[in-house]
């Protein structure tokens, strides 16, 4: 794919200390997309790696024309996603993880978005037909996080983490409005999409653990819950500002008279 051709699809891959898996993941993605004859680009967003991830990503980019590499100075999953979405040129943007990707999901999501049946497609680990083969502790964390998201934020979907496909044009203002980073960024993005009236669809995911988690499950649970609380507080503050501005605007109209 030459730079002058706008790709149909952008695949965003955050990468933090992923030197052991990055090569196989990028190669499999590039091979699979080429087999589908898709005009696609892959964007690896290295963030704060201390191993050879950035060096390997740049080497891969020298060999795979469809691959672009971005680099951020600190490790932050949400910031990496946001940077990748901002840089994406495709009509549809998909995010995957180095240790979790599925081209069958890309097929289903592209069909739904191009067929105008959805603006956002989520690979859910909790809908009927999904197969979550991760350890029990990880599954319990997903269940608890989904419940907390519904309770604190009123989120409608069952699972906002994991692979997602987005209509780039529809989601651009939503992504730009997001204030959170870290593990709560994609939760905020999906929530804002729901509140904006965009159509969100969930499809079953098949998940298996390719490597042990980097962070203990208990710590990730605490950090994620704290992030949800902060997000709720920020959204409430936004709502108060909107109400205040609305009241000021009405008072101004009343003062001017009919």
pLDDT above 70 covers a percentage of the chain that reads 92
pLDDT tens column, 148-179: 999 999 999 988 888 999 999 999 999 999 99
| Tens of pLDDT, residues 49-88 | 999 999 999 999 999 999 999 999 999 999 999 999 999 9
DSSP secondary structure string, the chain? --TTSPPSEEEEEEESS-TTTHHHHHHHHHHHHHHTT--EEEEEEEES-SSSHHHHHHHHHHH-TTEEEEEESS--HHHHHHHHHHH--SSEEEE-BTTB--HHHHHHHHHHHHTTS-SEEEEESSSTT-EE-S-HHHHHHHHHHHHHHHHHH---SS--SS-EEEEHHHHHHHHHH----GGGHHHHHHHHHHHTT--EEEEE-EE--SS--SS-HHHHHHHHHHHHHHHHHHHHHHHHHHHHHHHHHHHHHHHH--
| pLDDT for res 2 | 47
Q: Is residue 127 part of a domain?
A: yes
107 vs 140, more confident: 107
134 domain-assigned: yes
Q: In this model, does residue 4 exceed pLDDT 60?
A: no
Q: For residue 115, tell me if it sits in a domain.
A: yes
Number of domains making up the chain: 1
Range of the domain at 214: 9-256
Residue 250 pLDDT more than 90? no
For residue 234, pLDDT over 90 is answered with yes
Flag whether 180 is in a domain. Answer: yes
Q: Identify whether 168 is part of a domain.
A: yes
The domain that contains 130 carries what CATH number? 3.90.550.10
Position 2 in a domain: no
For the chain, what is the largest distance between any 2 Cα atoms, rounded to a whole number of angstroms? 69
For the segment 13-28, the average pLDDT, to the nearest whole number, is: 96
Report yes or no on 1 lying in a domain. no
In this prediction, residues 202-228 reach a mean pLDDT of: 82
pLDDT at 45 over 60: yes
**Nearest to 122, CA basis, from 73, 70, 161:** 161
| pLDDT average, residue stretch 34-63 | 96
pLDDT at position 161, please? 84
Query: Is a pLDDT exceeding 80 seen at residue 14?
Result: yes
Task: Look at residue 183 and tell me whether its pLDDT is greater than 50.
Answer: yes
Asked if residue 4 belongs to a domain, the reply is no
Residue 212: pLDDT band (50, 70, 90) is confident
Q: Dump pLDDT digits (tens) for 115-125.
A: 999 999 999 98
């Amino acid at each position: 794919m030459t730079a002058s051709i706008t790709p149909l699809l952008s695949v965003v891959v955050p990468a933090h200390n992923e030197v052991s898996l990055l090569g196989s993941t990028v190669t499999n993605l590039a091979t699979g997309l080429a087999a589908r004859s898709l005009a696609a680009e892959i964007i690896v967003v290295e963030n704060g790696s201390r191993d050879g991830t950035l060096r390997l990503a740049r080497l891969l980019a020298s060999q795979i024309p469809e691959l672009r590499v971005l680099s951020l100075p600190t490790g932050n999953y949400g910031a990496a996603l946001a940077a990748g979405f901002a840089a994406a040129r495709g009509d549809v943007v998909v995010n995957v993880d180095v240790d979790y990707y599925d081209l069958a999901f890309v097929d289903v999501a592209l069909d739904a978005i191009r067929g105008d049946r959805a603006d956002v497609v989520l690979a859910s680990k909790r809908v009927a037909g999904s197969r979550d083969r991760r350890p029990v502790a990880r599954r319990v964390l997903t269940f608890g996080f989904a419940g907390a998201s519904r309770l604190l934020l009123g989120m409608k979907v069952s699972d906002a983490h994991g692979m997602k496909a987005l209509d780039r044009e529809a989601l651009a203002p939503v992504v730009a409005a997001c204030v959170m980073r870290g593990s709560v960024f994609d939760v905020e993005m999906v929530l804002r999409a729901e509140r904006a009236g965009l159509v969100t669809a969930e499809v079953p995911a098949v998940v298996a653990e390719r490597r042990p988690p980097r962070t203990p499950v208990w710590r990730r649970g605490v950090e994620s819950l704290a992030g949800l609380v902060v997000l709720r507080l920020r959204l409430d503050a936004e709502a108060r500002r909107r109400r205040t501005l609305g009241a000021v605007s009405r008072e101004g109209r009343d003062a001017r008279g009919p």
